[in-house]
Amino acid sequence: MSEYEIDKTLVLSTAHIPESEGELLEAAGDDCGVLDHVVYNYAYGWRIWVPLGDESLIGALNEVPYTKKLVKLALSLDCQWLRLDQDGPCHDHLPQHPLSHLEQLAECAENEA
């Protein structure tokens, strides 16, 4: 066992969640809801805390069902975090959605440049 604390993270593409869920995750932090305690926005996606053994927090993800399934996948892989990243890997065995919210924003920014 290491003397250092190391967080294990599952990294997936934002394409694995629909745009509507991306918008809800993006809004996390604005209204002090339950998602605010588990979702952290960053420039290219979200870091989502995987609440090991806390079913009440997993239940709070009911409004984002695709994200909830990915959190459960991360939990099954013994990860403390799920990172949904614009450049993260896509996996054929997971649902994929057309152009995610962040990819659309990036595409718009490129077009404006």
pLDDT in tens, 12-65: 999 999 989 988 888 875 655 666 678 888 889 999 988 777 776 777 788 899
Residue 81 located in a structural domain: yes
Q: Which pLDDT score, from 0 to 100, does residue 2 have?
A: 75
Residue 2 located in a structural domain: no
Residue 14 located in a structural domain: yes
- Please give the residue range of the domain that contains residue 31: 9-112
Q: Which pLDDT score, from 0 to 100, does residue 6 have?
A: 87
Q: What is the 3-state secondary structure (H, E, C) of 65-103?
A: HHHHHHHHHHHHCCCCEEEEECCCCCCCCCCCCCCCHHH
CA distance 23 to 76: 26
Instruction: List all residues 6 or more positions away from 80 whose beta carbon is below 8 Å from its beta carbon.
Output: 7, 8, 9, 49, 50, 52
Number of domains in the chain: 1
Lookup: tokens for 106: 């990036």
